Amino acid sequence: MKQAKLLTTQERKRLAAVIDSKRHATRNHTAVALSFYAGLRACEIAALRIGDVFDETGEVRDTIHLRAAQTKGNEAATVLVNKRLSQQLRKYEPPLVWRRPRSKDTGLWKRRTLGRDIRTNYV
């Protein structure tokens, strides 16, 4: 299997600067953190539900359990949430509280204008 390309420090800083210049910086930093620190693919990030990442009290879970339908290989997986990822997920959490209450099965990512889950090409 081909090894994924690692970003240099300069490339990471440039990526962060581009994300910071856009409208949904916190959301986008969170999606990138899920890719970098948890190794999730775009389709897995887009398929995440609130209950996959946050517990009933709104705290970030220690692990993310992916159902078979959420993964590329159609096999369930468990992903550990490290300190950096947990911090970024906590930054993203407040927007979930600002809007009307949602079910734990609601998608973690919503399209603001339509209120629908985002698709893989948005991630």
Give the residues across from 88 on adjacent strands: none
Average pLDDT, the chain: 84
Window from 8-12, 61-65, 108-112 with minimum mean pLDDT:
108-112
Give pLDDT, residue 36: 93
pLDDT exceeds cutoff 90 at 25 = yes
**DSSP state letter for 66:** E
Is residue 115 very low, low, confident or very high in pLDDT (cuts 50, 70, 90)? low
Give the residues across from 60 on adjacent strands: 54
pLDDT digits (tens, 9 = 90+) for 38-56: 999 999 999 998 889 988 8
* Nearest 10 degrees: Cα torsion 69, 30, 121, 78: -20
